[in-house]
Amino acid sequence: MNKIQLVIALIVAAFSLFSYFGSSSVNQITGEKQHIGGMSQKQEVAMGLQSAPQMAQQMGGLSQDARARELVSQVGAKVVAQSVAAKSGYPFKFHTLADPRTVNAFALPGGQIFITMSLLSKLETEGQLAGVLGHEVGHVLARHSAEHIAKDQLTQGLTGAFAMGSGSMNAAQIGQMVGQMTMLKYGRDDELEADGLGLRLMSEAGYDPRAMIRVMQILEKASGGSRNPEFQSSHPSPPHRIEEINAKLKKAFPNGIPAGLTP
């Protein structure tokens, strides 16, 4: 390693850090200060719309069950229209995937929400569906995808600087592992934040937020007591999420859950 390499490496690392920490915005829904690399909502929406057809194709296409599709669309629309999500500016759209085996739901940037028939068929009430969709809407509102893109760019920049400065690909691989561990932590935080937002959204839309507890039990049973491949290690275990949900409900409803909510 020579001095020129070291100087260049330091410049690359400094630029990556400045690009990440030098710009921030306050999320209008969560009130949190976020580093999202200057990505706009329009860019998120465009990214999601571009990716949606490919994602659907990878999971067997959209379901041919018209009743299932209508149910998901109606419940998703209600969760958005009757909650703070209506003020977000995201054009949410809810898709039902034909996949009969993969128990999963996920969100793309900008408001494209997906749920598989496998998961939908295991849900027992409309409130449980509202909880699942509310959780995914929560990811969009919290701009988790934009945060992850910015963090990934930071990780790539620092890893490249580390490799350049050390002159060793093995060192670069170690740096990548460190970056992945950082991303893992954020992933777990993201899931818990999305759970909290989902509880808020579904209750604002008139659904009983306690339905999310049963959703966690269903997910745990579907995984056979272990993690499914699609529920990556970034997801906290269902029992831990149930504990967090109960704590959030106690804080949000100190006098108990209001009567008359849809289970």
Classify 105 as helix, strand or coil: strand
| Range 178-185 contact pairs with CB under 8 angstroms and sequence separation of 24 or more | 179/155, 180/155, 182/151, 182/155, 183/148, 183/151, 183/152, 183/155, 183/234, 184/233, 184/234
| Residue 85 in this model has a pLDDT that exceeds 90 | yes
Catalytic residue among 32, 70, 124, 136: 136
- Residue 136 falls in the annotated catalytic set: yes
pLDDT band at residue 67 using 50, 70 and 90 as cut-offs: very high
AA letter at 110: G
Give pLDDT tens digits for 200-239.
999 999 999 999 999 999 999 998 754 443 444 457 889 9
Structure tokens at 75: 């419940």
Average pLDDT in the 133-138 region?
Answer: 98
| Average of per-residue pLDDT values in the chain | 84
In the predicted model, what is the mean pLDDT of residues 88-93?
A: 97
Domain ranges of the chain: 3-252
User: Percent of the chain, pLDDT > 70?
Assistant: 75
Residue appearing with tokens 């449980």: 128
pLDDT surpasses 80 at 158: no
pLDDT of 195 over the 90 cut: yes
Please, which pLDDT band fits residue 153 given cuts at 50, 70 and 90? low
